[in-house]
């Protein structure tokens, strides 16, 4: 949804604030027949009604595994939609659907089904006319082949078929049609498989190779899990219980009300090759520490990259930045008056490091985070300073820690930042490609000269 808002703002010159996109659309944009959302090359078709209200029916779409996105007509009513499997359907956003919000990407899957023909294939009207397979959970129809209809115990293939499949569990049913027109799908000829989005678990007779993403493409997707973050294994009151399922199941659970009630901001999945057998194919969920609600933990890097995968509930966010971050820009020379609220961050110019203001279990810090692996280093630690939850940082007279409704300065760093800015005194700030932060003091007038380095962190 965040990316859709950005596309809306970028499409029109009179808009500039992404945070106000939703309000503008409901109050003016929809009635002006504007287009909200990012253009998608695929077309969509109606799946179900989503009601007539301002709020997108995202939860309804999440709970419908065949739903790929929600679309709003100019009159205000919503439809749950699915991507078309051919060239028919509606352009999004476009004339029919003025607003378009993608919820899940079904991806493009190459499915190759092979099998060995049975040792008895019938005679006369009971002879096999064609082999069939279908996927009951997907609207793909029956796939058929007449290969080896008269040969027993022979390796046979339906060939490679490309089809859209949403990440979830499926059952492939193999069957046949007889010369007499009888279609049969024997119960023993069924094979389960799972489309996970980043990898595939399938029986040996099914080969799946992803051509598309298979799931929303998140900035914050990472293999492994973030060390040092608070993790739970269940969305029930019994935190000792385990939640079994594939990655698609974990994603859906992380978007439920039970997850919201527990302040879950990210989810993870342990694969079938996880080292602890009892934890294989289970979900885990990231939430703020129960004793410190609403805080941002300091990341300690990722671990077990081959057996775990983690993602933010909001796919536009980064798990390295706590999945609730606010982007302020990318700089080498950071502008004076840049203010960091809790969770706000900037990149250095190469975007290899992120400077973020966090509250790590009651301890306010300005930290620098390596965007390649999620490790972090402390720039300024305010462990000895007592401030409230509304604390922020502003780059002004050095680095100022602000507190209270009046945003009074509780601390200024470094020590040399002892003069307030004026026409004769100014401060400059640099965030370099090594993730270090530098504070300079520049004098003007009779004392004008090159800037003096006051401090480098760390």
pLDDT tens, residue by residue, 412-426? 999 999 999 999 999
Q: Picking from 150-159, 199-208, 305-314, 397-406, which range would have the lowest pLDDT averaged per residue?
A: 199-208
**pLDDT at 1 (0 to 100):** 56
**pLDDT at 207 (0 to 100):** 53
**pLDDT at 294 (0 to 100):** 78
Provide long-range contacts, Cβ within 8 A and 24+ apart, for 385-393: 385/410, 385/411, 386/410, 389/294, 389/342, 389/359, 391/342, 391/359, 391/364, 392/339, 392/340, 392/341, 392/342, 392/357, 393/339, 393/340, 393/357, 393/366
In this structure, CATH architecture of domain 326-457: Orthogonal Prism (2.90)
Indicate if the pLDDT at residue 220 is higher than 60.
Answer: no
pTM, rounded to two decimals: 0.54
User: Per-residue pLDDT averaged across 348-364, rounded?
Assistant: 93
User: Per-residue pLDDT averaged across 262-277, rounded?
Assistant: 90
Start-to-end CA span in the chain (Å)? 36
**pLDDT at 282 (0 to 100):** 86
| Of 25 and 366, more confident | 366
| Of 228 and 51, more confident | 51
pLDDT in tens, 161-209: 777 776 677 888 888 888 888 787 766 577 777 776 543 333 333 453 3
CATH fold for domain 109-210: Immunoglobulin-like (2.60.40)
User: Per-residue pLDDT averaged across 52-63, rounded?
Assistant: 90
How are beta strands 69-72 and 99-102 bridged, if at all?
antiparallel
Listed by start position, the domains of the chain span 2-102, 109-210, 222-321, 326-457
Q: What are phi and psi of 126, to 5 degrees?
A: -90, 0
| Of 216 and 73, more confident | 73
Q: Picking from 104-113, 242-251, 275-284, 359-368, which range would have the lowest pLDDT averaged per residue?
A: 104-113
Does residue 320 contact residue 266 with C-beta atoms inside 8 Å? Answer: no
d(CA 198, CA 314): 17
Torsion angle in degrees (nearest 10) through CA of 163, 164, 169, 172: -20
**pLDDT at 197 (0 to 100):** 52
Residue 177 tokens read as 């049609």
Does residue 72 contact residue 34 with C-beta atoms inside 8 Å? Answer: no
Indicate if the pLDDT at residue 16 is higher than 50.
Answer: yes
Q: What is the CATH number of domain 222-321?
A: 3.50.4
User: Per-residue pLDDT averaged across 217-241, rounded?
Assistant: 77
Sole residue written with tokens 């969920």: 285
Residue 136 — pLDDT band, cuts 50, 70, 90?
A: confident
Residue 153 — pLDDT band, cuts 50, 70, 90?
A: confident
**pLDDT at 285 (0 to 100):** 95
d(CA 416, CA 430): 16
Q: Which helix (H) or strand (E) holds 21?
A: helix 21-24
Instruction: Spell 343-375 as b/e; 16+ CB within 10 A means b.
Output: bbbbbbeeeebbbbbbbbeeebbbbbbbbeebb
d(CA 131, CA 102): 36
**pLDDT at 427 (0 to 100):** 97
d(CA 182, CA 20): 60
Nearest CA to 365 out of 437, 298, 430 is that of: 298
User: Per-residue pLDDT averaged across 288-304, rounded?
Assistant: 88
Angle at 198 between CA 197 and CA 201, to 5 degrees: 80
d(CA 235, CA 237): 7
Measure Cα distances from 438 to 288, 357, 376, 377, 385 in Å.
31, 16, 17, 14, 22
Nearest CA to 419 out of 456, 376, 454, 458 is that of: 454
- Mean pLDDT of all residues belonging to the chain: 84
Residue 74 tokens read as 């100019």
Residue 307 tokens read as 């057996």
Residue 28 tokens read as 């003016």
User: Per-residue pLDDT averaged across 134-150, rounded?
Assistant: 83
| Of 18 and 406, more confident | 406
Does residue 80 contact residue 52 with C-beta atoms inside 8 Å? Answer: no
| Of 275 and 85, more confident | 275
- Peptide bond preceding 339 in cis form (omega within 30 of 0): no
d(CA 159, CA 98): 40
Indicate if the pLDDT at residue 281 is higher than 70.
Answer: yes
Indicate if the pLDDT at residue 108 is higher than 70.
Answer: no
Angle at 343 between CA 342 and CA 347, to 5 degrees: 125
Instruction: Spell 125-159 as b/e; 16+ CB within 10 A means b.
Output: eeebbbbbbbbeebebeebbeeebbeeeeeeeebe
């Amino acid at each position: 949804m965040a990316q859709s808002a950005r596309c809306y703002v970028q499409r029109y010159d009179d808009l500039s604030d992404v945070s106000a996109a939703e309000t503008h659309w409901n109050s003016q944009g929809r009635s002006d027949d504007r287009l909200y959302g990012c253009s998608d090359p695929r077309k969509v078709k109606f799946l179900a009604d989503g009601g007539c209200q301002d709020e997108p029916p995202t939860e309804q779409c999440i709970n419908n595994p065949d739903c790929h996105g929600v679309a709003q007509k100019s009159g205000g009513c919503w439809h749950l939609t699915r991507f078309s499997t051919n060239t028919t359907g509606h352009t999004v956003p476009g004339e029919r659907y003025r607003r378009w919000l993608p919820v899940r990407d079904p991806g493009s899957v190459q499915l190759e089904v092979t099998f060995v023909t049975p040792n008895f294939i019938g005679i006369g009207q009971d002879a096999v006319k064609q082999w069939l397979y279908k996927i009951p959970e997907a609207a793909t129809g029956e796939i058929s082949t007449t290969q080896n209809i008269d040969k027993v115990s022979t390796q046979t293939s339906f060939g490679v078929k490309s089809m859209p499949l949403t990440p979830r569990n499926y059952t492939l049913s193999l069957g046949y049609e007889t010369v007499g027109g009888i279609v049969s799908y024997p119960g023993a000829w069924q094979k389960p498989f799972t489309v996970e989005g980043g990898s595939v678990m399938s029986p040996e007779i099914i080969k799946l190779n992803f051509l598309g993403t298979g799931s929303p493409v998140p900035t914050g997707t990472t293999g492994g899990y973030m060390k040092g973050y608070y993790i739970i294994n269940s969305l029930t009151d019994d935190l000792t219980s385990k939640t079994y399922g594939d990655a698609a199941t974990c994603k859906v659970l992380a978007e439920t009300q039970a997850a919201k009630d527990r302040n879950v901001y990210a989810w993870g999945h342990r694969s079938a090759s996880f080292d602890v057998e009892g934890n294989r194919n289970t979900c885990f969920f990231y939430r703020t520490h129960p004793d410190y609600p609403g805080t941002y933990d300091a990341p300690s890097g990722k671990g077990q990259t081959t057996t775990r995968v983690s993602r933010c509930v909001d796919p536009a966010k980064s798990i390295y930045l706590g999945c609730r971050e606010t982007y302020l820009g990318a700089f080498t020379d950071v502008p004076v008056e840049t203010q960091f609220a809790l969770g706000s961050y900037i990149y250095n110019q190469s975007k290899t490091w992120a400077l973020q203001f966090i509250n790590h279990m009651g301890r306010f810090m300005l930290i620098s985070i390596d965007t390649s692996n999620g490790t972090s280093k402390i720039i300024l630690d305010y462990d000895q300073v007592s401030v409230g939850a509304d604390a922020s940082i502003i780059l002004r007279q050095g680095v100022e820690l602000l507190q209270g409704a009046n945003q009074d300065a509780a601390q200024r760093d470094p020590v040399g930042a002892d003069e307030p800015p004026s026409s004769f005194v100014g401060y400059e700030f640099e965030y370099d490609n090594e993730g270090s932060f530098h504070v300079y003091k520049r004098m003007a007038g009779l004392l004008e000269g090159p800037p003096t380095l006051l401090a480098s962190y760390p």
